[in-house]
Structure 1
């Protein structure tokens, strides 16, 4: 049956809506995108499995079990995250933490669509990692399986502040050590990030268990189904991460081009009106799916991702995974 002009107009609305959605999520139809998402899943799985394993007290069944070794736990968390960042930074950026991903989205270094997929992958990886640890650990020594809990001597509000501060310290370290604008960077960024995690744990384990990472708390909470004050381990780290990223990126070390454009926003023309600032071409306001957490300029992996994305958009159609 032939389509009338009226029916054609009616059918345009769903089509336009579909095209808008496809445009917003066009980056998810590429192999590099899913490679990055799967990298976040695997990195978080390994990190949670190894790190939570350090909290298992194998002497808990004895008559006088020793207390948890805070130094051992702190070093295991820090060295694990440093290793995973070193292994996966060129694949996905090595976030391994929803607070890091949220900070990257807020500072426009990562698209919202990619950020959402990253957080889902991180949470799923944490659940699988905690589940594997549950399966391989004898029930007599599992204890709380490394769940994060607020110390009964402090209030939930104080716990929120502690999580905010230690995550602030971590995210600020990430932005400072992975800033491509700096020419004085030497050594390993992954190791610096790992040390920041160690410091946060050494300080905050007695207070809150030192999450610094919503996915790290989410995994064992799902496996053990323990949700007491769990919201603290999402709100605190994400707020701390966003605050640290915003202060570093827009106050302490702003991009020169962004700073110039911000100044131009407050300059009036001859007619007394404020000038209209053109934002096109500024990577801070455009798509930034290729920006990853590591020092230096774009890597070969980033260039390949850009090239493949361009080929997908200019060829016969979008590539399938």
Structure 2
């Protein structure tokens, strides 16, 4: 009886220790999926699907060589292809920016997840919608294009003159340039932006294509490479077009968000950590933005506004407020 009683006590003690952790994990899971089962979110997911379908259809359509049936067909027009991809992105960002944030690129979505502007649960749905949209766009183009001129349907491939390592670096760099442009033009802390953010993003895509088409076909977008690869069954060096853009996107977003232009909330958290040290920060507390000497410093301390790109900001503030209320109780 004593052994049974002691064993029951041990079980109850373990259960009491495990229940808080289980409830914590359940709360984290619920928080991750909060907002997923809403009409607005599924409207955004459908927007990503449709935007990617249109982008792949138009972009890959510009790579079709209608003179391929001739004896000596001319080479592809790189300027035409670059402008079509760039202007398509600019147009779609303008159309779908207020609906889904107009990522239209798994690399951009992963960058937003890495910088906590999009939850992991929502990012998974975004990635699925983008890949399905790319496959649908490539399938439509395959169906409406005559077999004689269809060619490779714009499948991205590594130039035979360079190695896969060099191709990986090229994709990393051009995607870095794209995502850094996205972060800079959609930064709510900036008050100096005068032109069109959509056009700037489109031009960054155009520049990347003008430079990298001879090297790798200039994917800059894993879904853009995934769609035609599925339809044509061509998977040679396909991993390059996922690994390179994803690494470049995360590096660009992290450098911009945490080094070059950090968020005021993140800066406050760093300050609270540093306050435990001997750093003399008392003289800087309570200072107004106008008290700083430079305009750049004033921009840093201003409160950023909500942007459609950072879809998690409002929910994060609600969770923090709820946590403060519970801690006070």
TM-score range, shorter chain: 0.7 to 0.9
Answering whether residue 120 of structure 2 is matched by residue 141 of structure 1, we say no
2:122 is matched with 114
Task: Return the alpha-carbon distance in structure 2 between the equivalents of residues 22 and 299 of structure 1.
Answer: 24
Higher relative contact order (CA 8 A, sep 6+): 1
SS of residue paired to 2:136: helix
Contact 2:52 2:130 in 1 (8 A): yes
Structure ranking higher in helix proportion? 2
Between the aligned partners of 1:22 and 1:261, the Cα distance in structure 2 is 25
Tell whether 2:241 aligns with 1:236: no
For residue 142 of structure 1, report the CA deviation from its aligned partner.
0.6
Spell out the pairing of 1:142-291 with structure 2 (5 A cutoff).
142-268=150-276
Superposition deviation, residue 258 in structure 1: 1.3
TM-superposed deviation, 1:21: 4.0
CA positional deviation for 1:261: 1.8
Q: Determine which structure has more spread, i.e. the larger CA radius of gyration.
A: 2
Shift of 1:20: 6.0
Q: Structure 1's 25 and 187: CA in aligned 2 closer, same or farther, altered over 3 A?
A: same
TM-score (norm 1): 0.79
Aligned residues of 2:51 and 2:92 also touching (Cα < 8 A): yes
Match of 1:70 in 2: 78
Tell me if structure 2 keeps the 8 A contact 1:91–1:301.
no
Q: What is the deviation of 1:99?
A: 0.3
2:19 corresponds to 1:45 = no
Aligned partner of 1:35 in structure 2 is 43
1:62-101 equivalences under 5 Å are 62-101=70-109
Alpha-carbon distance between aligned partners in 1 of 2:206 and 2:259, rounded to the nearest angstrom = 27
Contact 1:44 1:126 in 2 (8 A): yes
Q: CA separation of 1:269/1:173 partners in 2, compared to 1, >3 Å: closer, same or farther?
A: closer
- CA positional deviation for 1:27: 1.3
Match of 2:9 in 1: none
Q: Structure 2-normalised TM-score?
A: 0.77
Unaligned 5+ segments in structure 1 are 1-8, 271-295, 311-321
Q: Judging changes above 3 Å, is the alpha-carbon distance between structure 1 residues 202 and 257 closer, same or farther for their aligned structure 2 residues?
A: same
- Give the aligned CA root-mean-square deviation in angstroms: 2.7
| Structure 2 Cα separation of the partners of residues 129 and 266 of structure 1 | 51
Q: Report if aligned partners of 2:100, 2:308 keep a CA contact under 8 Å in 1.
A: no
Contact 2:91 2:198 in 1 (8 A): yes
CA 302–74 in structure 1, closer or farther in 2 if over 3 Å, else same: closer
- Any unmatched runs of 5+ in structure 2? 1-14, 279-303, 319-329
Distance in 1 (CA, whole Å) between partners of 2:115 and 2:307 is: 20
Q: Residue deviations 1:187-242, cap 9 Å, x none?
A: 11000000000000000000000000000000000000100000000000000000
Instruction: Give the CA deviation at 1:255.
Output: 1.5
Moved more, 79-88 or 256-265: 256-265
Q: What pairs with 1:121-140 in structure 2 (closer than 5 Å)?
A: 121-140=129-148
Tell me how far 1:300 sits from its aligned partner: 9.7
